[in-house]
Structure 1
Amino acid sequence: MLVDPILQLEKQNPRAPCLYRLQGDQWISFSRADVIDAVHRLCTQWQTDGLKSGQRILVLMENRPEWAVTAVACNRYGLVLVPAYTTHQEHEIEYLLDRSQASAVVTSVGELSDRLKSIDSASQILWYTADDQSKILFPNLTQRNDKLVPNQDPDSLYALIPTSGTNGQPKLVELTQNNIFANVTSILTVLRDAEIDQPHRFLSFLPLAHAYEHMAGLYLPLHLGGEIFYCERLDKLATLMADIKPTLMTAVPRLYELLYGRITAQVTKSGRLKQKIFQTAINLGNQSKLTLKDHCTNWICERLVRNKVRKRFGGRLQYFVSGGAALNPEISRFFRGLGVGILQGYGQTEASPVISVNRPGSARAETVGPALPEVEVRLTDEGELLVRGENVMRGYWQDPEATEATIRDGWLYTGDLAEIDPDGHIRIVGRLKDLIVNSGGDNVAPAPIEQEITIYPEVDQVIVVGDGKPSLSALICLNSEFETDDPDTTIASVLKRYNSNKPPLLQVRKGLLLDEPCTIENGLLTPTQKIKRSLVVKHYQEAIDALY
């Protein structure tokens, strides 16, 4: 069972610190015993309230210890977890409640519970609320009943996790306990092979509603016997990293892009000597062999550049792990050169979610690494990546047609175009549904182009278009921190630099300035920071047509 290793670790060392919540400027620590006691009390309360195994429970909370307690309790009791994002609006929460037919909800005091109160269907189900002021996890629950019979079915449904919903309403992915357990076990094998499977210190800031953080930022640390510090506000992230000193961190490419932009902006403002030393550090840090002269120069770079960067991240960070979307290889090389490795992986919610990851010591920036242990991959004749393993979902909740279209003969059809190198490393080309077919019949994947253009300091967001057109164009949102009196000239300059070394097929001939950034609030960005391409194109269709 998914929860068994967590219970065993608690018996071995019940007083070991496990979860942390920031209250004011102080960290409140909860031991393994505190966590497991809260799990038992929550299960007992559910039993007292008449909830049955298999019923659904919606979770709408910030990243916090009570989130982890609720997830583990669902494992133990047999309730089905339905995670919602804190950025979800009322209609999105209502959709999840109605679609899952939830019988209960767990939320936190304040703005999130107020949002729930405005939804009629939420008033008709059971509520459980986390208190910000208490130093006890769920202090108002009943006393624990140690005679309660736990769920013992590893194939029981554990969670209904929403997909990103980039093309409409999200589907609910059915993940069993065994799905998550298989994924955690495979990751543990990778860490063990690299001899970095010690109890790590994690800083959790990606939404726990995201399948990636749910596995890598919740169950993986708990199975390692590690500590999890919860960051509820991203504006505190830089300060907290220096304070907490994490050893492993999971994040999406957007974070690395922001860090890259801030660091390079600071370097640009420094003198030429510092710029030269900084660039030398990156170059030498990406070389596998160094001459005697290089070793001497590298020693200087280590002291003047890399040590300062590591200190900025707490000084103990072994690796960043990137997932959730494609990472620009240039950003990966940038951080590797600065002495902070990024292991890029790949996955989907439907695969619990990790499918592949680069290994320490053999990471290749342009790939997402080889498949995890016990996970099979292959390509169709069209180049679509297929996946098979215990981590593959049971199906989509109450949607047999979508399930049959996605899982065929045991293989998960990912919808991603990919290439597999002879050594097993996987290269993701792009989404099949996003493929641009120009008027000449040529196929172009927009994702690699967007990755490259986004790395320019002037650019914040970009969407490449050109389906049925003679050439490519780009919808661009400029970086708010970049000052310009002439946006059109700035965009033209960006495209000129990008096009300078590209073949005609991949050149972006024209650019269009977006009226506003794609955000969660305007409905053009998912909670996982993915642009809703189809909605953006639809919104700007007339302007796009006017470019040709």
Structure 2
Amino acid sequence: MREFTVPPLATAPQVGGLADVVFDHAADDPGRVTFARKVDDRWRDVTSGEFRDEVMALAKGLLVRGVRFGDRVGIMCRTRYEWTLFDFALWSIGAQSVPLYPSSSAEQVLWTLHDAEVRACVVEHEDHAMTIGSVIDRLPRLTQLWQLDAGALADLLASGQDLDDDVVHRHRLALTPDSTATIIYTSGTTGRPKGCVLTHANFMAEADNIVARYESVFHSRPGDEASTLLFLPLAHVFGRMVQVAAVRCRVKLGHQPELSAAALLPDLRAFRPTFILAVPHIFERVFAAARRSAEAADRAGPFDKAYEVAVRYAEAAERKAFGAGGGPGAALRVQHQLYDKLVYGKLREAMGGRIRHAMSGGSAMERRLGLFFAGAGITIFEGYGLTESTAAATANPPERPRFGTVGQPIPGTTVRLADDGEVLVRGGQVFAGYLGDPKATAAALRDGWLATGDIGALDEDGYLTITGRKKEVLVTSGGKTVSPMALEERVRGHPLVAQCIVVGNDRPFVAALVTLDPDAVAHWLQMRDKPRLPPAELVRDPDLEAEIRRAVVAANTLVSHPESIRTFRILAAQFSEEQGLLTPSLKLRRKAIEQAYASEVEALYRT
């Protein structure tokens, strides 16, 4: 199949902008809980009426401080309630938000703020303020800097007290769906980041169609209040889409700024969301932590058996959904019921106890991991999209997920494969273009189709599988073309592996660099009564090397011999964003990694 379309389920609004629902919901049901805000380590409910009042007060404060219709305001902050508040306040007066990753360097901040001609900026704390302060002399348009942890929000709320509400409403009503809502800069695996111009209509088309299609997910049980804990970075389009969708469909939303298990798991248990949205890395870490806990309790064998039962159970259910089987047999159902009490229920309880569904995007998820979670009672709907498509372009449908794929086009979207296999996307969520870059816009938008740069395949039911990136395909010196993504994903599936990069461009064969997960390695050493060694010595441990070799051998079963990983090297440190080796969304910067580890790569090819 070369093209697949899913008709829209939501009608595109003809008037208004994203902030309108804040005022509409408050007028309709001011006492309904819209947010939960963490204050002094306790979750406090925020009603739609309270949120509307805060949005209005902040919007007036911003106007008094000189922010005008069409102005751009930067936000440099972790995921927290105040970010959402600023977004909707800015949209209430027709201003445009420009996200900055909290980890951005001074040069990255300088480029974004200069390119977007930002007039004012909100930062979370002093470190962020100092980062901007170090380049502020080169930003003549930036006239105001507000620091949240220094009381800026209270000052802004107070400063607009004397302004009439009608001034905000006049600004809000001047917006149209085609007005720009935000400029999100691509993290960029190569070159300068480009500013993606996303409109209010883009977010409406994306959020409203997803909400309509996944109604059973967002409101899964009568009387069970739908809620989600947002821990994705709001500087990323995925997190922003979740924020908008939650507000538009009245899902209770909480914010969590820390992605570490030590911070996230207690808040999952306290907040008890009904569904979550995350990247595969989160689910990989949850699974790895559960496996380590079982091994520490001398129950690794039962856990592994439970894993296989969950995978088989989910596979049988999947076959039934596609008319290829009768579902799990009696014996498998009995085994599954047993392990639900012993293993699966504990896993769900660790994630809050109410989660039955999740959505995953940002990178590929290994099929068996998705099957395991589904068998354990948490169905993960994997999807695919870009900043340029306002997050999801495809996602697995709730009634028939096909694990290992990124699903069908979301409603209102068409996916087409070009002659070379490149994935093309068309729909209401496709962006307006790159800010101030008509050449790049023309390259990305071809007769209304977004050229994604990803290579994929469509099956007979319209499910898309991403097989690689056009620019990341390796060609060995023998002329063999290799897509590294599947190999890297399989190696990374090993509990001890944190990252894997496959190399081999213009080389005689394919090889790999592998980094380790510190928590998993510490547990592995403890279970084997091995001493803790410095990383440089640890990577030479023959038992550890044997473990990683097993992961490489498993990955090689996916490809032909000329495409297989012939050798590998374990590195003493992980690739990091601070080193410039990862994008803020944790994608590998391949060229930068190969340059930084040039000697290690050369060593792989020495005879």
TM-score (normalizing by structure 2): 0.85
2:313 to 284, 295, 299: 284
Deviation at 1:300, TM superposition (A): 1.5
Cα deviation, residue 476, structure 1: 0.9
AA paired with 1:18?
Answer: T
For residue 474 of structure 2, what is the aligned residue in structure 1? 436
Structure 1, residues 193-213: CA drift from partner, whole Å, max 9, x if none? 768478621111111010001
Cα pair distance change 1:34/1:110, threshold 3 Å: farther
Change (3 A) 1:340 1:225: same
Aligned residues of 1:188 and 1:197 also touching (Cα < 8 A)? no
Residue in structure 1 matched with residue 146 of structure 2 by the alignment: 128
CA contact (8 A) 1:34 1:137 kept: no
Which of 165-174 and 482-491 deviates more?
482-491
Aligned residue for 1:412? 450
C-alpha contact 1:165 1:526 (8 A) present in aligned 2: yes
Number of the residue aligned with 2:187: 164
Superposition pairs of residues 148-159 of structure 1, within 5 angstroms: 148=167, 149=170, 150=172, 151-159=174-182
Are residues 1:26 and 2:42 paired? yes
1:268 shift after superposition:
3.5
CA 1:337 to 1:68, structure 2 compared with 1: closer, same or farther past 3 Å? same
- Whether 1:100 aligns to 2:116 is yes
Decide which moves more: 293-302 or 448-457: 293-302
Structure-1 residue corresponding to 2:81: 65
Distance 2:177 2:457 in 1: 34
- What is the TM-score with the length of structure 1 in the denominator? 0.94
> Counterpart in 2 of 1:540?
597
From the superposition, tell whether residues 309 and 101 of structure 1 become closer, same or farther in structure 2 (CA, over 3 Å): same
**Residue deviations 1:375-416 (CA, integer Å, cap 9, x gap):** 111011000010111111111011111111110111100000
Gaps of 5+ in 1: none
Structure 1 residues 522 and 161: CA distance shift in structure 2, 3 A:
same
Alignment-derived partner of residue 231 in structure 1: 256
Deviation at 1:285, TM superposition (A): 4.1
Q: Post-superposition shift, 1:109? A: 4.2
Deviates more, 1:425-434 or 1:469-478: 469-478
1:509 is matched with: 566
Q: 1:193–1:306: structure 2 CA closer, same or farther, 3 Å change rule?
A: closer
* 1:298–1:97 CA distance, 2 compared to 1 (3 A): same
> 2: CA distance between counterparts of 1:430 and 1:502?
14
Sort the Cα spacing of 1:380 and 1:104 in 2 relative to 1 into closer, same or farther, 3 A: same
Change (3 A) 1:46 1:194: closer
| Residues 10-36 of structure 1, C-alpha deviations (whole Å, 9 max, x = no match) | 111112222233233222332222221
Residue deviations 1:433-467 (CA, integer Å, cap 9, x gap)? 00111223232110111000001122111000111
Find the aligned partners of 2:457 and 2:307 in 1 and give their Cα distance.
34
Between the aligned partners of 2:591 and 2:439, the Cα distance in structure 1 is: 22
Per mean C-alpha deviation after superposition, the further-off stretch among 343-352 and 263-272 is: 263-272
Structure 2 matches for 1:55-454, cutoff 5 A? 55-121=71-137, 124-131=142-149, 139-143=157-161, 145-148=164-167, 149=170, 150=172, 151-192=174-215, 196=219, 200-216=226-242, 218-235=243-260, 236-269=263-296, 270-271=298-299, 272-273=301-302, 275-288=304-317, 289-454=327-492
Q: Please report how far the alpha carbon of residue 488 of structure 1 lies from its aligned counterpart in structure 2 after TM superposition.
A: 4.8
1:37-78 deviation digits (Å, cap 9, x = unpaired): 222222222322333211211011222222111111222211
Return the letter of the residue paired with 2:280. P
CA shift in 2, pair 1:274/1:329, >3 Å: closer
Which amino acid in 2 is paired with 1:392? V
Question: Structure 1 110/309 Cα, relative in aligned 2: closer, same or farther at 3 Å?
Answer: same
Alpha-carbon distance in 2 for matches of 1:43, 1:501:
54
Looking at structure 2, the residues matched to 427 and 494 of structure 1 have their Cα atoms a distance apart, in angstroms, of 23
Query: How many angstroms apart in 2 are the aligned matches of 1:242 and 1:193?
Result: 23
Aligned partner letter, 2:347: V
Percent identity between the two aligned chains = 29
CA distance in 2, matches of 1:521, 1:501: 33
Maintained 8 Å contact 2:383/2:392: yes
Question: Which amino acid in structure 2 is aligned with residue 75 of structure 1?
Answer: W
Change (3 A) 1:442 1:277: closer
In the aligned structure 2, how far is the partner of 1:358 from the partner of 1:501? 23
Question: Greater RCO between the two (CA within 8 Å, min separation 6)?
Answer: 2
What's the Cα RMSD here?
A: 2.3
Deviation at 1:525, TM superposition (A): 1.3
Aligned-partner Cα distance in 2 for 1:274–1:19: 37
Contact 1:438 1:467 survives alignment (8 Å): yes
Instruction: Supply the distance in 2 between the matched residues of 1:527 and 1:18 (Cα, whole angstroms).
Output: 29
Secondary structure of 1:147's match?
Answer: helix
Aligned residues: 547
> Matches of 1:516 and 1:10 in 2, distance apart?
50
Matches of 1:232 and 1:274, distance apart in 2:
31
Distance in structure 2 (CA, Å) of the matches to 1:467 and 1:377: 30
Match of 2:530 in 1: none
* CA shift digits 1:114-136 (9 cap, x unpaired): 43333324695123343588997
Letter in 2 for 1:343: F
